[in-house]
Structure 1
Amino acid sequence: MISKLRAAGLTRRTFLKSTAITAVGASMPSITLAAGEPIKIGFLAPLTGAVAAWGKPGLDGCMIWAERVNAAGGIELEDGKHPVEFVSYDNEYDPAKARTGATKLIREDGVSFIMMLGGDTWPGVQPVADKTGMLFSTLLPSDLSPDSTTLLAPAEVHPIYLVTGVDYLADTFPDAKTVVICAQDDALGLPSVATYLAAFEARGIEVLEEPLLFDPATTDFAPIVTRMLSSNPDIICLDTCYSDYVHPICEQLFQQGYKGKMISATADFYDQMIAKTSKEFMEGFIFQFPDFDDPALSGDNINFEDANGFYEEYAKRHPGQWGAVSWEYASIMDLWKAAAEQAGSADPEAVMEAMKEGGTGKHAFGDAVWWGTELFGIDNALVGDWPVVVIEDGKAVIKGFKSIPDWYDQHGDLLIKHMQAYNQMYDQRG
């Protein structure tokens, strides 16, 4: 069979892709709404468990987004305006539960679009996407592949935005020349490790030992921190560790007397970390996700409507719960709403076509391009600028926006090299 495919100019991958497209065409969900009927959006993410910090705050943000949109009349399609309604399903960051949830949201709830965190749960959902043709989004572009044509990464460009934080660190603290990296051994940790390795190599920062990969079930981080500090690094990199790991690691770094620089993808609930350590210890902590009360988010380059007001309302309803994803799913919905109104339809295929028209899009942090073929095998990631955030005097502060495409144009070969070494390229996974 394979030899016949090759003789016809096809590979196994393109054969599978073509049959998947046929299946999608045969099973594409029909979205038919009565006048004024709510448009239902699926929210398929961890709402409980260790990864809930990257699910539940996003759903809370979506509820605020929906109230704003509905108060303004809803989403206007060809047949008139429709309110929007979110239907959530807690996948507990489990692939099997995610697959069950996706099936339910499509077949029973009649959603028009499904947002996910992604990562380890996407392989469970991918067969459902292939069969139904439903439009999905992920916060992890590392989920993308040419076999998943209806999966988009329109908000977060994990892990490639991490390079911007390393560039800031190298520019600001040129004497910091050595680093140790730790991460959980999973679908979020591994591509991040590869990205940080590429970014540190690009700036001549020496990685002192192999990245320390720990079991996601780890609860005692004292030995891990002791091992990291044994080589006396200038920088500790916490990769894309979950907040349930970042907090105890920082506490251990504080208790064991670390005085160097710290960099991480996130610093969710950093006020709690300050309370467990000190304001002085957390000073200068570099990460990638701003508080939306930052004045820099009121600039003309920002495409998230009334970011400061959104943050104020979120903080009022959910004090102390603002985190990396609190705004991201809502930002995806801004793009989805604009595309649905442009298409005049909530149909997944029509919305996706409108969203990607012209190859550009309005990312939260500025104009961006649909990109990714070299890294992901498909241009389904919306990539542009990303903020670098630093804790100063106990508060997250945006220090600037840096271009991800510009970095990749210079150092893309390094990123591909390290992604391949960790088996994270699209043609190596699964």
Structure 2
Amino acid sequence: MISKIVKSGLTRRTFLKSTAATAMSAGLPGMSLAAGDTIKIGFLAPLTGAVAAWGKPGLDGCEIWAERVNAAGGIKLDDGMHKVEFVSYDNEYDPAKARTGATKLIREDGVSFIMMLGGDTWPGVQPVADKTGMLFSTLLPSDLSPDTNTLIAPAEVHPIYNVTGVEWLAENKPDLKTAVMCAQDDALGLPSVATYLAAFEAAGIEMLDDPLLFDPATTDFAPVVTRLISKNPDIVCLDTCYSDYVHPIAEQLYQQGFKGQIISCTADFYDQMIAKTSEEFMEGFIFQFPDFDDPALNADNINFTDPNGFYAEFNKRHPGQWGAVSWEYASIMDLWKAAAEKAGSSDPDAVTTAMKDGGKGAHAFGDAAWWGTELFGIDNALVGDWPVVAIEGGKARIKGFRSIPDWYAKHGDLLIKHMKAYDQMWDQRS
């Protein structure tokens, strides 16, 4: 974790410098593709461990995506049709293993593009990206900086979309006036903390205490919850806690008698939380990731092919495993495929140019703009609308779509203020 790296005296900057030497010595060959060759896509994410819920379901979704594309003939480039194949590497959410994986995927597997979760693993990979010019994607735009020219965030705009849930809550439940928050102290938790603080401030909701940051190694959440609810808040915010934290925290909130509102970035495998608590307790739980059988995803503005069918097939193959990332990596591949076909090539530079042409893109939840200079120092995040989801009658349902750019236009100064307070602006992180 970044926090642990800093405590040990190794900063992100020195980590990047040391790993750059490794990448420079690797002598990575250029990616090449002949007519008829299968296009290989790298999947570099945690497939085991505490963060696996944001990796493995995404790979499972990509396999469904590849089968659909290959069944339709593949990807059409200037030299003809190409089938597509995913090559995965489990980085276990470790920056050194991510660096090794990136090197292998490029040098040995000859991939044309690499998808990552990002976060704590990106510093290990960035020197490889810089040396090779390989195009990488992240689900965490907080990885972006002016130095990350080959990194894009085309699907998830974590953590900025979290403002939409707070905005919806303030408008629809104005009687909720106070909040508390907890998060793991790492590169996923901290920028999200800053975002929620900005959102609560913009909504006029009072924070009763500073965010409670716990060590990522925490396993006993009873004391965390006891402290969290000691001031009797109206709202408990679980930030972007991993599912391995959200579940025991929710269970403790239930056991300790909390009756208020819960809001979280994710609620992966929420059926398991309902089973451990009750349907009544989980009623109204707000988060940001819909099930893809939601009728709202059949609207004309949605840029994800047959979301209901994708969801049904995923659950048929992987029952009980649908989560926040099950569709996201596949959505990134929709954008990559469209850009590669537009460019007539799988070359990373050509794909990037085609993808960003005109400054607009077909995001899963509607047309969006390439944005980010104000916050990340580079316009490599695809930002538009995002859904607000609530659990009703034991089922996740989209309550509406909210515009992230519209919120930022009104409250961007608050977001920058809190990002700076937590050292999460790009110039502070790099």
Q: Report if TM-score (shorter chain) is over 0.5.
A: yes
CA distance in 2, matches of 1:282, 1:85: 39
Alignment check: 8 A CA contact 2:383 2:405 kept? yes
How far does residue 282 in structure 1 lie from its aligned partner after superposition?
Answer: 0.0
Matches within 5 A, 1:93-242: 93-242=93-242
User: Which amino acid is the alignment partner of residue 63 of structure 1?
Assistant: E
Per-residue CA deviation, residues 202-246 of structure 1 (Å, 9 max, x unaligned), is 011000000000000000000000001101000000000000000
Query: Residue 348 of structure 2 aligns with which residue?
Result: 348
Query: Residue 92 of structure 1 aligns with which residue?
Result: 92
Query: Residue 385 of structure 1 aligns with which residue?
Result: 385
User: Which amino acid is the alignment partner of residue 93 of structure 2?
Assistant: Y
Stretches of 4+ aligned residues off by more than 6 angstroms: none
CA distance in 2, matches of 1:34, 1:423: 46
Alignment check: 8 A CA contact 1:28 1:133 kept? no
Per-residue CA deviation, residues 15-38 of structure 1 (Å, 9 max, x unaligned), is x9xxx9xx99xx896433222110
CA distance in 2, matches of 1:304, 1:89: 26
Query: Residue 409 of structure 1 aligns with which residue?
Result: 409
Per-residue CA deviation, residues 17-62 of structure 1 (Å, 9 max, x unaligned), is xxx9xx99xx896433222110000000000000000000000000
CA distance in 1, matches of 2:139, 2:256: 34
Alignment check: 8 A CA contact 2:32 2:110 kept? no
Query: Residue 243 of structure 2 aligns with which residue?
Result: 243
CA distance in 2, matches of 1:380, 1:33: 26
CA distance in 2, matches of 1:52, 1:124: 18
User: Which amino acid is the alignment partner of residue 72 of structure 2?
Assistant: A
CA distance in 2, matches of 1:35, 1:372: 37
User: Which amino acid is the alignment partner of residue 200 of structure 1?
Assistant: F
SS of the counterpart of 2:134? coil
Alignment check: 8 A CA contact 2:28 2:103 kept? no
Alignment check: 8 A CA contact 2:28 2:106 kept? no
Query: Residue 40 of structure 1 aligns with which residue?
Result: 40
SS of the counterpart of 1:326? coil
SS of the counterpart of 1:427? helix
The percent of aligned pairs where both chains have the same amino acid is 84
Q: Which structure 2 segments of 5+ residues have no match?
A: 1-12
CA distance in 1, matches of 2:349, 2:35: 21
Query: Residue 253 of structure 1 aligns with which residue?
Result: 253
How far does residue 368 in structure 1 lie from its aligned partner after superposition?
Answer: 0.1
Matches within 5 A, 1:229-308: 229-308=229-308
User: Which amino acid is the alignment partner of residue 312 of structure 2?
Assistant: E
SS of the counterpart of 1:428? helix
SS of the counterpart of 2:428? coil
Query: Residue 362 of structure 1 aligns with which residue?
Result: 362
User: Which amino acid is the alignment partner of residue 349 of structure 1?
Assistant: D
SS of the counterpart of 1:411? helix
Matches within 5 A, 1:411-426: 411-426=411-426
Alignment check: 8 A CA contact 1:31 1:346 kept? no
Q: Which structure 1 segments of 5+ residues have no match?
A: 1-12
SS of the counterpart of 2:102? helix
CA distance in 1, matches of 2:29, 2:83: 20
- The total of aligned residue pairs comes to 409
How far does residue 73 in structure 1 lie from its aligned partner after superposition?
Answer: 0.1
User: Which amino acid is the alignment partner of residue 308 of structure 1?
Assistant: N
Per-residue CA deviation, residues 68-93 of structure 1 (Å, 9 max, x unaligned), is 00000000000000000000000000
User: Which amino acid is the alignment partner of residue 395 of structure 1?
Assistant: K
Query: Residue 70 of structure 1 aligns with which residue?
Result: 70
